[in-house]
Structure 1
Amino acid sequence: MRRVARYVTSVCGTLLLTVSCTWTGDAGGSDTDGGLPPAPAGVTAAAGSATSVHVMWNRAPDGPEVSAYEVYRGTAKVREVPGSEHMVDVVGLTPSTTYVFTVRARNKAGHSGPRSKTVRATTPAASATDTTAPTRLGRTRGETTGSRSVLLSWDASTDNREVASYDIHQGAARIHTVTGDRTTAVVTGLRPGTRYTFTVRARDAADNVSAAGSPVRLTTAPGSDTGQGTAPTGFRAATHRTDGAYYLDLSWIPPRADGVITEYEIHLDGRPATSLVWGGPVPSGRASYSFYVGREAGTEYRVRIRARLPDGTWGGFSAERTAVTAA
């Protein structure tokens, strides 16, 4: 027998389990401005050089429309980007200094929502005598992971001191930065059936930039697809019984994405059932969660899960698993 359980909202540790729904509240704004946008989630900051920090956050997928994001260093607003973007470089910083950043969203009426949680980044030391750029990258590779994302990888550059970061360019525009210990990047938010050209450059702490690596030309898959390149992997499902109640136990490995994945959607028997939102630190490896499904033995559940990507879109579904409450 198959049955989709009914759930109530509950908080457990740092994970929030909620019934999937559409935003309808006011959240403190007026009836005319559509309400205030929520605090951005998944904010990260990483030094790109001795004088710059790359700040990223997850684009708000639901609720009132976001017209812009404001980036703060301490209490001062230092950058602003359109609501369609979710990353920015803060420049003109001091070497060997720790900075604190927050991000807040602004709605169409010009009202800003609450600030995000604070993140910190420390710029490396700089040498005034360093004028040597990192070497040109070795072989650069790429593959499409569906209709809206690609995975890039490259052979590491070398520097007379140290590579601080890698800049990813789409055509002539720099679209992303990763730290110098990374040799891969996931680019999401692309258009289906579109040809793109990507290049990667290495940057050191003194802001010396290498020549571009070999260009990677990729065409995203046409139309919509299953998005398996952005799906959770290693998905497992089982049940256990405690005090006469049955619980569904899930675990998975998050999909690869440049950014923090804070939200997942669970489907039971082919229909959306719940959303899982981390309100605290996100697991760095395999994630797991258990939730109540009822007291009836012999019930079979078909379950799968997908992640909300940092660009605000849903990734692909995991493999579907079956779990049965034991008699």
Structure 2
Amino acid sequence: MQRPLAACVLTAVALTLAACSQGPAKDTSGPTAPTGVTAASGSSQTVHVMWNAATDDRAVTGYEVYQQGRKVKDLPATTLMVDIVDLTPATPYAFTVRARDAAGNRSPHSPTVPATTLAATAQDRTPPTAPRALRVTAEGSHAATLTWQAARDDTKVTAYDVYQADARIHTVPGTATTARLTGLRAGTVYSFTVRARDAAENSSPDSAPADLTTTPAPGAAPLTAPTDLTAKVTKGGEVTLTWTPPRTGSPVTEHQLFLNGAFTTTVIWGAQPPPGEATYTFTVPTTEPTRYSVKLRARLPDGTWGDFSAQRTVVVP
């Protein structure tokens, strides 16, 4: 016996609605375990833990750091290093790291890595000297190796911290004078500095900067960043910048100046801009010692703003 046509249509609609109501497939796959986990003590009370990014079928949204099996840090997906603080001097510890996705799935624990905090020392307020002769060598478009000459300290250098634009991105033991950086972006200007640190957490001044421009991706537009930026500060808070404007096919008549990441002023030449190297002097407050990060970008012939220069840091006395 044949079913009425209307009943068949209603049945088909009901089946369709049931299928749609199920929604997207539930995410039940966890990320991979983080690899390359290291733990190194830089003082009597801290351990620095680092790892490589995990992968997920959708996206990693965070990391969890465990100390002796107990979670001690919850971090965003963009963070691949952390200092574990307030530890006991001369004590062994063990650390693992897990990745997490948006659905709450967690990866397996990474392999356990040990670290022993340094022994407590007498009060030490003398920082190490700055590392010298910093050099950076590109390895393709996404990696680079830094090398430097060892710093000196009245006790012992226990760690070297690598900074990119005033943000710490890597740490190596005090016995090392090289660091390999990965995860860089193609066609990007970077400025690296290194600081030495001792067991009392005294940090040295910055090394001289080392700049790197990674190779652009195939077919990418030419880089438009000012180059050779230097910044010198004199008494009275005067800061003098010198740089080489980008080659754009036309004279560059305007640059934007950024202090501590914020737009500050536009440098404009009323007449023909100077050939070759450009110079600009400005004054900052001198009420207390202050660090300023400085970077520039040029207005291009089409009216848009180009890439940022490497960043420089000045300390105003």
Mapped contact 1:134–1:208 kept (Cα < 8 A)? yes
Mapped contact 2:128–2:153 kept (Cα < 8 A)? yes
Q: Of 165, 169, 190, which residue of structure 2 is paired with 1:196? A: 190
Inter-partner Cα distance in structure 2 for 1:153 and 1:98: 30
Shift of 1:224: 5.5
Inter-partner Cα distance in structure 1 for 2:45 and 2:170: 17
Inter-partner Cα distance in structure 2 for 1:43 and 1:144: 23
Residue of structure 2 in register with 1:102 after alignment: 96
Tell me, which stretches of 5 or more residues in structure 2 are unaligned? 1-23, 220-317
Q: Of 80, 85, 98, which residue of structure 1 is paired with 2:79? A: 85
Aligned residues: 196
Inter-partner Cα distance in structure 2 for 1:190 and 1:41: 18
Q: What TM-score comes out, normalization by structure 2 length?
A: 0.58
Mapped contact 1:48–1:178 kept (Cα < 8 A)? no
Task: Check if 1:43 corresponds to 2:37.
Answer: yes
Which residue identity is paired with 2:151? S
Flag the structure with more relative contact order, 1 or 2, with Cα contacts below 8 A and sequence separation at least 6: 1
Residue of structure 1 in register with 2:135 after alignment: 141
Query: What percent identity do the matched residue pairs reach?
Result: 52
Q: Of 144, 155, 159, which residue of structure 1 is paired with 2:149? A: 155
Pairwise CA RMSD: 1.9
Residue of structure 1 in register with 2:246 after alignment: none
Task: Check if 1:221 corresponds to 2:215.
Answer: yes
Inter-partner Cα distance in structure 2 for 1:111 and 1:66: 10
Residue of structure 2 in register with 1:177 after alignment: 171
SS across alignment from 2:78:
coil
Residue of structure 1 in register with 2:259 after alignment: none
Shift of 1:55: 1.2
Tell me, which stretches of 5 or more residues in structure 1 are unaligned? 1-29, 226-327
Name the larger-Rg structure. Answer: 2
Inter-partner Cα distance in structure 1 for 2:189 and 2:41: 31
Shift of 1:57: 2.0
User: 1:208-245: per-residue Cα shift (whole Å, max 9, x none)?
Assistant: 111111011111111169xxxxxxxxxxxxxxxxxxxx
Inter-partner Cα distance in structure 1 for 2:101 and 2:56: 12
Which residue identity is paired with 1:199? T
Mapped contact 2:32–2:56 kept (Cα < 8 A)? no
Inter-partner Cα distance in structure 2 for 1:137 and 1:106: 37
Larger mean CA deviation between 70-79 and 34-43 belongs to 34-43
What does residue range 151-300 of structure 1 map to in structure 2 within 5 Å? 151-223=145-217
Q: 1:224 to 1:155 in 2, by over 3 A?
A: farther
User: 1:133-190: per-residue Cα shift (whole Å, max 9, x none)?
Assistant: 1111121111222111121111000111111000000011011100001001111111
Inter-partner Cα distance in structure 2 for 1:184 and 1:39: 27
User: 1:80-132: per-residue Cα shift (whole Å, max 9, x none)?
Assistant: 22223322222222221111101111111123232222111011112242111
Q: What TM-score comes out, normalization by structure 1 length?
A: 0.57
Residue of structure 1 in register with 2:112 after alignment: 118
SS across alignment from 1:70:
strand
Inter-partner Cα distance in structure 1 for 2:36 and 2:205: 32
Q: 1:181 to 1:224 in 2, by over 3 A?
A: farther
Q: 1:104 to 1:192 in 2, by over 3 A?
A: same
